[in-house]
Structure 1
Amino acid sequence: MTHSPQRDSISGARRVARIAVAAGLVAALSAAGPVPMALAADAPPAAPVDGDVKSAPDKLGSKDADLLAEAKAEGAKHVTMMIATAPGKTEQVAEKLNAVKGGSVGHTHDKLGYVRATVPTAKADAAIAAAAKLSTVHGIDLREEIPLDDPTPSADTTKGAKGKGGKGTYKAPDKRTPAKNPYNPSFETGAVDFVKHNRKADGRGVTIGILDSGVDLAHPALQKTTTGERKIVDWVTATDPIVDNDRTWRPMVSSVSGPSFAYDGKTWKAPAGDYRISTFLESYTTGGDANGDTNLDGDTTDSWGVLYDAEAGTVRVDLNNNQDFSDDTPMKPYKDKFHVGYFGTDDPKTDVAERQPFVVEIRKDVPMDPYGGDWVGQKADFVNIGLIEGSHGSHVAGITAAHGLFGGKMNGAAPGAKLVSSRACTWSGGCTNVALTEGMIDLVANRGVDIVNMSIGGLPALNDGNNARAELYSRLIDTYGVQIVISAGNSGPGANTIGDPALADKVISVGASVSRETWAANYGSVVKKKYGMMPFSSRGPREDGGFTPTLVAPGASVNTIQTWAAGAPVAEAGYGLPAGYGMLQGTSMASPQAAGAAALLLSAAKQKRIDLTPAKLRTALTSTAERIKDVQAYEQGAGLIDIEEAWDAIRDGATAHTYTVKAPVDTAIDQFLKTPGFGTGLYDREGGLKTGQKKTYDITITRTSGPDRAVKHELDLENNADRTFRIVGDDEVRLPLNKPVTVKVQANPKSAGLKSAILEVDDPRTEGVDHQVLNTVVVSAPLKYTFAASGKAQRNDTTSYFVTVPEGAKTLEIAMSGLKADSQTRFIAIHPYGVPADPTSTVNCYPNYSNPANTCRPDVRSYPDPQPGVWEIEVESRRTSPLLDNPYKLNVAVLGAAFDPETVTVPEAKVGEPAAASWKVTNRLAALDGKLLGGPLGSANTDRPSIKTGDKHTTTVEVPAGAASLDVAIGNVTDTAADLDLAVYKDGVRVAQSADGDSEESVSIAKPAAGTYTVEVVGYSVPAGTAEYDYRDVFFSETLGTITVDGSAPVKLGTGDSATVSGTVTAAAEAPEGREFFGRVQLVNERGTVAGLGSVTIEKVVP
């Protein structure tokens, strides 16, 4: 039996950080010192505070460059890369990577152009550089784990929370519930009526792939199709046995022979023959819904022998633990014989099943090189014990294709369809991009599916869809004719929060909509609005202006979960649910509604022998979607799916030409787009557009398919918010083949805020709209000093404000007031990169909502050193707010007081004797009525070393007990193009890191434990060869001394005003050799938010 040296899965907070590190999001919250109301760590954590997107070779990508830097900082032994090559050109890449000592190629797919390889981290730079030089390599992604959102009621509610949001008026769904119902509202897309009118087009003949957390094989509503055929026809695990550290994959490396043999200190029996054996521990599944209790007996200590017959291709599991395999059924992989085993014994007297189904899978000849040591160069077979990770996948499956929910007339969208389950999620709360890539390839290329649903994704700062996985997904769609449907993400309602890989060009990305009736039936929450968007649904556009989401579908459903789980309703709905049923919410639930709708159209097309390609399917869906009133295009895309209208378009021959678009993009990070400053849609966020200003944009359109002559196209603007946009010139244009033509679109906003519209480019001789271009502009309130707004937030609704933070702001402060008693209304700040700067989960940041784990202050929060640019501040009222209309006041201020000099130097001070220090403070931004704060002295170490690419400098810091903070900073590099990274370790464990795209890095550790800390500076890239940089570390402790100011004296400064402030610094002891004493004074406003900082350094302390 072998042992995997893979590291433990990273924690939830760090997993999310890895998704967002492209913006330097794990930088210290305040390099200059503690900020009383700085962003609190949370789940999902506060996102960007400062920093740039990391520079990187174009083929690697900014996010992946940072993942590599983090792997180096962590001391990871290996990194895994996924490479998109030209189709049919994988051999040369594979040869280069196989030649790396200690490296191995774990997977290739030549037809698509995909290579996955693992190399030693120390050799990763050279391996990536070698691969990137090949013209056949298009993109390189590094392995990462994407958190799986928790859509369950338990994640949406905290114990002891109060609030109702209305009165539950709906009874629990049951077998008498009609097909049209608000609990699983597939009728809103037209699915129920379509099946009623096309009874043989209910999904039959169509197989849907579910790439998720695994589907429960025991659920009654997932057993049969409408024609009595088996519902789930295949069940596989997509994770890699080694690089994904999924220990449900057992390495079969111990050979034994029956009828009797010794293994693991025990004597075993088996039929005569040669086998390989391993042990499966239920604790391997700790972190999933069963939390390591695989057989559901209340503990996590059970284990079972696993016997593999390589010749027969069978697996036996010693379920009764009698060390005798002869009484255990040999199991084949599920698709071969539909063999299902069970851990545990069910008690038929209870509602919940006390047993869990599993299947087996065999993966042959897996390269063992990532284990290192003697395993390098070897291969082995692995056996998987196929278990679900959680309820997510079963719920998604039920929405797409359940038949007979609650034993009655309620169904999924396509009850006649079959399913293939592929588990891509691990036991650490997320799904790896390796599994999501290779699982998708396997489903589409090998499992005979007609469409795939994937309700998983994450939010990178640079969400432009320009990465290897997005390219591969588009190739899969084109090569195999299988449409992929993906959830848009749950990071909304901010603009530009669309998740990856829903960004891929040819996937259908799905946002979450909701009706008034579903709010009442599923949540017990009363609203006025007839139909709208779920507040959390991620919005477009892509960073390159691209059209996302594609469309929307209902985002909440009562549906199937695993049969061994108790019913999971929303408490405020006022009813219970039987075991195996739960109410889940999210774009994860909207995506399968769309996939099921598409399955109905595919089913109908097969019945009518219509060749419905993915392109025709997308055209039909987007051309006929129903626009949701008062919801902008960037929020809903083309609109709510309308299956019957889409079917009419398909019967009429829906088709479309293909096009490329080059439109101007002005965002905080547009320089990192594939073509800097341009993208596939118009997106002007940072261009300074003003109310009443007319601004014209050139949009270049190239038709890339169709007749070899100029074709007349009609131009039209749909869902044109406030009639902001107009087409300049003729609304008809002739587009020749493969020749660019420029059309002009003018924006003339009449009010502040974000405005969007769809530019339709249509050949009237084709059925359906040929192409849709998203146009998005932002009119931001100039935030010279302050901004104020007031309004009423309806329960479950959102309002957004946009403000421009100027250069030089020390702190962005946002305060909410004017709330009525018990109102649950919050604000969320969204960084200019389109990444939320506050936790967006529905249990955080709300006033009058009990959540002991919430550290997000509801009334006022500050954001230190805010990124200059357009910030979005959204206001929303929770579904449990007792008020339907929730008045609020919003006050925003940017603070920036400069101390001159920044640092006062005291040449010499005596122990115990105060030394004077003074500064001139000039207030450059919002007026403030504040005071000064002193604090403990710090012990500082400064240096100016030189560094080269690949160098690693370490410094040891001894921190005493009772220290208030440990701050480390580097910067002022002689090579301005250099990229240096900073990390701090204690006892070998990394406790802080700053690794953005430049060399100005800093971290701050509050209340550090006493002990030895190691600071590591890594030369990630030094183009000049060598570079000098400033280094400083400082820890603060009252045992060293204090800096004292008159905190009772008010400091009132209007904008532009100056004042002289003073204090005294007293050293309590002499400084250790090589270190000097350092102190700081903070100027804070009446709410305790830091407006500016001054420092003092004591060069020498004498007795």
Structure 2
Amino acid sequence: MGDHPAGGPGTVGPGGGRDGHFPRCLPPWRLRGDGAAPMNGRGIAVGLLLLLALGRVAASPPPGALEETGGHAGRLGAAAAVPVPVPDRAAAREAMAVNLRAMGADSFVDATASSGRGILIAVIDTGVDPGHPDLQFTPDWERKIADWVDFTGEGDVNITVSIRAPRGGWVDTPVGRVNLGRITSQSGRYRLGRFSERQLSPEGPLGEDINRNGKAGDAILVLVTDGQQPGVYDTVHVDTDGNRDFTDEVALREFRVGHEVGHFPGRTPGAQDERVAFVAARIAGAGDHVSLGFDANAHGTHVAGVAAAFGAHRGGMSGVAPGARLLVLKALDAAGDGYWSDIAEAMAYAAEQGAHIVLLSLAGGHAPGSLVAETQLMRRLTEQYGTVFVVAAGNLGPGLGSFNAPGDPELHLAVGAYMSPAMWQVQYGYEVPVEGVWHFSASGPGPDGSLGPVTLAPGSAVAPVPYWLFASGYARFEGTSQAVPHLGGLLALVMEEARAEGVGITPRAIRRAVEEGSRPIPGVPAVRQGHGLAEAPRVWAALVRGPAAGIRARQVGAGAAVGGIYSRGPLVAGASLQVDNELGIFRRLAVSGPAWMAADRRHLSLPAVTARHLEVRFGNLPGPGLHSEMLLLDDPATPGTDLTFPLTFAIPHAFPDDGGLRFSGDLAPGGSARHYLDIPPGTATLHIRLSVPAARGQAWLHLLRPDGRELWATGPVGQPEEPGGVPAERAEWSVHSPVPGVWELVVMSSPALSRYGLRSTGYSLEAQARGVRLEPARLHLGGPAGGGALESAFTVRPWPDTVRARALAFAVNDGDPPIPGLHQVEGGHSRAIALRPVGPGVTYLRVEVGNAPVPGADLSLTLYHRDPLTGRWTELANAASPGTAREVIELSHPPPGELIAYVEAAGFSGPTSFELRELALSDPAWLAVSDLPGEIRAGQTAESSVIAIAPEQPGEHHGLILLRDDVTGDVLAALPVLATTRPELEVEVLAPPLVPGRRELVMVRVREAATGHPVSVSIEIGGRRWSAPRGEVAYPVTPVAQGELAVNVSVRDPRYAPLAAVFRLPVSAEHPVALPGEARASDVDRQKVRNFLMGR
């Protein structure tokens, strides 16, 4: 399931798998995954946040589509959907009752009689089925759906034919003979057009057959008339049965006016489970355009039903807030895809129309933190209209940093997916002993160190779907998509009560109330659960207490990172925080946090509208693993906790000399464990093996790269899914040239163990790394421009195999080489990927595909070059070795310009991920490297010298040293080289006499070496960053023994050459006695240093 205590060793964090978590059910359709967006300039396509019961499915891109690298082009579908049918209304009611109890919504409604009355909830999704009986009315018999608007254009009809038919009846028209009967047109002019089924995505559940007659691509006639006022067209008739007779069709006005609903009848007239409901979303007054509204996917209907369905009057299901009304805004098409431009229009429309809450159960293939414009729009709408946005955390978990939802991390509400033991029992029949987070729910931290998900809500639900999907009209979906409407409905209940009681409900007050009103889940890392599970009574109580806070904190010297502290790698010794009091009152804040954190004070006093620094250290972390908790600042005189500041550390295991690491553990159902591996540069292969004996349980493994993206997920290991099946007790795979950094392995125990009579999963996990170790992992050389030769060296040590290697030096024009892109392709399909343009000075180009985890995957690679004069694409090179997923193309002096990598997949069915690496290098005029001895035995060390001639122009100059295997030609390792030719800095340390046990302040000053002018920079002292306004920092030290105190100082500022130095300050046994009133120069020891070569 995800994160919850698992009752055994190794149960640090969440887990999960992609394949076969639950009994298999075949998908009735596929939703696109990491496919390419149609290149029509409209923005990014986004995928629905739905989760397959048996895994994530991704489809190939449409013909001719092109996937761009980075930016807003391209799509990464969050997850595909296999909704599970629910047999009847009773089962639907029972499942929702369990979810309501989990959030405390039932008790809150009992105490307040709230239903969400008077609250308007906007659902930005695939549309909502306007014909479902649970989505017709509120308990007060108001219309449930207030308005229905399509922003996708999927239902657009261009009306191109205009005729006169004064007598009505059957008439001949340019589109054929039609029967108008007694349908009147005040102007006497009837307008006709066609709606094409080809406008629906073939990948949606209806395919291209909305009228359900078994034929795709029908052109359906649409009639528009001006029934009330001549020349103002306001009524639509759709020939749903294809008989060209409009007299047997429902007259539809714009839905917000008339609320009429039409139905495509299907093959069997009157069969409810074949009918597709639709409305006239918009009718142009001139009669030249109509927009039909329908949900051809079912996701939007399900989301709306969870939030606000009202079916209790007929024995059906009611959602969290049945009294709320719905504003239906369709921004995703039948396949669950859409564009951020459409979503932005829908968000603005929702705010302008007075929506109190906007639900966004969607996510896209954007990089975390990249949706700046969308976030700014959401912030503006919230500030201007008071709109509360609830967004899905995403289904790309469980990896750290997989959270990528839009929105302001301090203002909007991102929600993750929660499961309780009762939810498991009622919805799945599993016995899971403790509550937790779904494994797929995306994890923080965000790019700024913030939590990511703010709170949790139920992530599995039974709710209405169109009858054409399932005859019962109900289905179970799971995902953070379902958590969104649960929280949205809860907020509607609270908002109604707040209105009745006169309690303020600003968006910031709501956000703070949700934080304070969420119950932390024991044993779950903060970046997985945010503040915990949102519970209605607690949220209400926090709202009544009122907003307080006005306290903000940010890490000094961390740039834009203001939301928390996040370190993925070696332990950070400490940090300096600037704490701001934004209110006009004095605050005295109690400082507390986890046992492994120590602050320099227990209380922090902040006068009105002022700021102070708080020093924190992290010296007591228990060892490798995930450590994610909160630093708390609390003023007892104000309501609630005034500040929660996330602290997240992923501490890795380092590989020993033999290159092997082993882990084991025992996990409860749904329990999980996280393990972190430090993969150094030069690692050639990383081999991973998960073992689970069938009698010991069932587990899955997720392997995640340092950027948090998943590279491999196993199927079930151990107990077979079905009785009598053949157990797979081991899963293993090798990663070629793994990206250097901290990798994450998440082992998840199946929540379905009770099906097999088991209570836990025992697993063992092995990791073996091979390659060469480089020391250092990166070379920094610095000095004045044109200052002559800069020299350094690096060492190479093979582990655990002997190698023959040589070193080659290159210049890099675009900074460090990019990390490999992670893409998807379907077996039997292809993928076109735009590479970075090749510059005119490139002399060596290497493009590689590989690391496809699906067994039998056979990839081929072709490079195409675009002629800048003709614009034509021509083949440049091809690599297609049979039976392998790894292909490499190397070119000398490639032609400059645009390139496409065309990847074809064979040997398997379904999707696979794969990595694509690109490396464009030039001959260096400023960098040289000495060769290595021919053979380097395992455990031996060889050294190579590096010489850089400082270029005349100041700035940064990037190089790369490649180590190539003399035998295979493979690139064994890449050593980045950075030469900086910028103004030099000088650092000075002024220290009073130091004695053991006494705290003193040491003054650190930084100046330009040439001018002596002080500079404002960020200084790293003793592993912590300090802001140095006017070039000075007062650094506290407390010597522990007589002798010397080492103070490490470094400055890395893009305006200056890097500087690093170690100052050794004398520590005497006794403090010298100074005369009263005297200040003698001998009382201060002065030291200066210049450093031109990093790493001395």
TM-score (norm 2): 0.64
Query: Deviations for 1:144-184, whole angstroms, at most 9, x for unmatched residues?
Result: 556363343569xxxxxxxxxxxxxxx977549877x6765
Match of 2:276 in 1: 356
Match of 1:865 in 2: 737
Give, in whole Å, the separation in 2 of the partners of 1:71 and 1:301: 17
8 A contact 2:76–2:365 mirrored in 1: no
Give, in whole Å, the separation in 1 of the partners of 2:520 and 2:341: 36
Give, in whole Å, the separation in 2 of the partners of 1:757 and 1:505: 18
Query: Deviations for 1:935-957, whole angstroms, at most 9, x for unmatched residues?
Result: xxxxxxxxxxxxxxxxxxxxxxx
SS state at 1:304 partner: strand
SS state at 2:404 partner: coil
Matched, 1:312 2:238: no
Give, in whole Å, the separation in 2 of the partners of 1:992 and 1:411: 46
Matched, 1:478 2:344: no
Q: CA deviation at 1:303?
A: 3.1
Q: CA deviation at 1:847?
A: 7.8
Could you say if the C-alpha distance between residues 890 and 363 of structure 1 is closer, same or farther in structure 2, counting changes exceeding 3 Å? farther
Question: In structure 2, which of residues 184, 188, 197 is the aligned counterpart of residue 282 of structure 1?
Answer: 197
Q: CA deviation at 1:1004?
A: 4.2
Could you say if the C-alpha distance between residues 142 and 600 of structure 1 is closer, same or farther in structure 2, counting changes exceeding 3 Å? same
Give, in whole Å, the separation in 2 of the partners of 1:845 and 1:545: 34
Give, in whole Å, the separation in 2 of the partners of 1:224 and 1:150: 31
8 A contact 2:697–2:761 mirrored in 1: yes
Match of 1:958 in 2: none
Aligned identity (percent) is 25
SS state at 1:403 partner: coil
Could you say if the C-alpha distance between residues 308 and 996 of structure 1 is closer, same or farther in structure 2, counting changes exceeding 3 Å? same
Matches within 5 A, 1:40-439: 43=56, 142=72, 145=75, 147=77, 149-153=79-83, 174-175=89-90, 184-199=98-113, 201-239=114-152, 241=153, 246=154, 248-258=155-165, 260=171, 262-264=173-175, 269=180, 271-272=184-185, 273-285=188-200, 286-309=202-225, 311-325=232-246, 328-344=249-265, 353-362=273-282, 382-404=289-311, 407-408=314-315, 411-439=318-346
Give, in whole Å, the separation in 2 of the partners of 1:605 and 1:550: 22
Give, in whole Å, the separation in 1 of the partners of 2:111 and 2:407: 32
Match of 2:24 in 1: none
Could you say if the C-alpha distance between residues 897 and 208 of structure 1 is closer, same or farther in structure 2, counting changes exceeding 3 Å? same
Query: Deviations for 1:439-462, whole angstroms, at most 9, x for unmatched residues?
Result: 11111212x32111111113644x
SS state at 2:362 partner: coil
Q: CA deviation at 1:411?
A: 3.0
8 A contact 1:216–1:563 mirrored in 2: no
Matches within 5 A, 1:550-569: 550-566=454-470
8 A contact 1:664–1:684 mirrored in 2: no
Could you say if the C-alpha distance between residues 655 and 393 of structure 1 is closer, same or farther in structure 2, counting changes exceeding 3 Å? farther
8 A contact 1:361–1:386 mirrored in 2: yes
SS state at 1:194 partner: helix
Query: Deviations for 1:808-839, whole angstroms, at most 9, x for unmatched residues?
Result: 11222211124335843121111111111225
Could you say if the C-alpha distance between residues 507 and 1081 of structure 1 is closer, same or farther in structure 2, counting changes exceeding 3 Å? same
Give, in whole Å, the separation in 1 of the partners of 2:507 and 2:432: 37
Give, in whole Å, the separation in 2 of the partners of 1:1009 and 1:525: 39
Corresponding letter in the other structure for 1:884: R
8 A contact 2:36–2:75 mirrored in 1: yes
Q: CA deviation at 1:229?
A: 2.1
Question: In structure 1, which of residues 498, 506, 519 is the aligned counterpart of residue 403 of structure 2?
Answer: 498
Give, in whole Å, the separation in 2 of the partners of 1:1009 and 1:146: 22
Give, in whole Å, the separation in 1 of the partners of 2:122 and 2:597: 40
Matched, 1:698 2:603: no
Match of 2:833 in 1: 993
Question: In structure 2, which of residues 741, 745, 763 is the aligned counterpart of residue 888 of structure 1?
Answer: 763
Query: Deviations for 1:258-280, whole angstroms, at most 9, x for unmatched residues?
Result: 45553346567575533543211
Question: Which segment is superposed worse, 859-868 or 297-306?
Answer: 297-306
Could you say if the C-alpha distance between residues 896 and 154 of structure 1 is closer, same or farther in structure 2, counting changes exceeding 3 Å? farther
Matched, 1:803 2:723: no
Corresponding letter in the other structure for 1:623: E
Could you say if the C-alpha distance between residues 147 and 607 of structure 1 is closer, same or farther in structure 2, counting changes exceeding 3 Å? same
8 A contact 1:715–1:733 mirrored in 2: no
Matches within 5 A, 1:497-646: 497-501=402-406, 504-529=409-434, 531-566=435-470, 579-646=472-539
8 A contact 1:626–1:641 mirrored in 2: yes
Which of these two proteins has the greater Rg computed from alpha carbons? 2
TM-score (norm 1): 0.64
8 A contact 2:321–2:489 mirrored in 1: yes
Q: CA deviation at 1:859?
A: 0.9
Match of 2:647 in 1: 775
Could you say if the C-alpha distance between residues 890 and 600 of structure 1 is closer, same or farther in structure 2, counting changes exceeding 3 Å? same
Could you say if the C-alpha distance between residues 256 and 557 of structure 1 is closer, same or farther in structure 2, counting changes exceeding 3 Å? same
Question: In structure 2, which of residues 655, 680, 686 is the aligned counterpart of residue 812 of structure 1?
Answer: 686
Give, in whole Å, the separation in 1 of the partners of 2:310 and 2:464: 10
Matched, 1:975 2:813: yes
Aligned residue pairs, count: 791
Query: Deviations for 1:985-1024, whole angstroms, at most 9, x for unmatched residues?
Result: 9xxx9744363699865144999999996622799xxxxx
Could you say if the C-alpha distance between residues 433 and 783 of structure 1 is closer, same or farther in structure 2, counting changes exceeding 3 Å? farther
Q: CA deviation at 1:357?
A: 0.8
Match of 1:440 in 2: 347
Question: In structure 2, which of residues 35, 38, 46 is the aligned counterpart of residue 14 of structure 1?
Answer: 35
Matched, 1:682 2:558: no
Corresponding letter in the other structure for 1:879: P
Question: In structure 2, which of residues 702, 708, 711 is the aligned counterpart of residue 828 of structure 1?
Answer: 702
Q: CA deviation at 1:44?
A: 5.5
Match of 2:364 in 1: 458
Query: Deviations for 1:536-586, whole angstroms, at most 9, x for unmatched residues?
Result: 11111112211221011111112222122226xxxxxxxxxxx11111111
Corresponding letter in the other structure for 1:927: P
Could you say if the C-alpha distance between residues 339 and 660 of structure 1 is closer, same or farther in structure 2, counting changes exceeding 3 Å? farther
8 A contact 1:619–1:770 mirrored in 2: no
Could you say if the C-alpha distance between residues 212 and 732 of structure 1 is closer, same or farther in structure 2, counting changes exceeding 3 Å? same
Q: CA deviation at 1:211?
A: 1.2
SS state at 2:216 partner: coil
Query: Deviations for 1:97-129, whole angstroms, at most 9, x for unmatched residues?
Result: xxxxxxxxxxxxxxxxxxxxxxxx9xxxxxxxx
Corresponding letter in the other structure for 1:497: S
Which ranges in structure 1 are unaligned for 5 or more consecutive residues?
1-8, 23-41, 48-69, 80-120, 122-139, 156-170, 366-378, 568-578, 666-674, 900-921, 932-969, 1020-1030, 1039-1051, 1060-1078, 1085-1089, 1094-1103
Matched, 1:794 2:700: no
Give, in whole Å, the separation in 2 of the partners of 1:1003 and 1:46: 22
Q: CA deviation at 1:748?
A: 2.3
8 A contact 1:616–1:656 mirrored in 2: no
Query: Deviations for 1:1037-1084, whole angstroms, at most 9, x for unmatched residues?
Result: 89xxxxxxxxxxxxx99843799xxxxxxxxxxxxxxxxxxx999889
Give, in whole Å, the separation in 2 of the partners of 1:1091 and 1:858: 30
Match of 1:713 in 2: 589
Could you say if the C-alpha distance between residues 630 and 619 of structure 1 is closer, same or farther in structure 2, counting changes exceeding 3 Å? same
Give, in whole Å, the separation in 2 of the partners of 1:979 and 1:440: 38
Corresponding letter in the other structure for 1:515: S
Give, in whole Å, the separation in 1 of the partners of 2:830 and 2:83: 34
Corresponding letter in the other structure for 2:418: S
Give, in whole Å, the separation in 1 of the partners of 2:377 and 2:555: 22
Give, in whole Å, the separation in 1 of the partners of 2:360 and 2:511: 17
Which ranges in structure 2 are unaligned for 5 or more consecutive residues?
1-29, 44-54, 226-230, 775-794, 840-844, 869-875, 884-934, 943-963, 974-1096
Match of 2:993 in 1: none
Corresponding letter in the other structure for 2:665: G
Matches within 5 A, 1:1051-1090: 1055-1056=938-939
8 A contact 1:494–1:836 mirrored in 2: yes
Q: CA deviation at 1:724?
A: 2.4
Give, in whole Å, the separation in 2 of the partners of 1:16 and 1:894: 37
Query: Deviations for 1:176-230, whole angstroms, at most 9, x for unmatched residues?
Result: 9877x6765121111011111111x221111111111222222222222222222
Match of 1:127 in 2: none
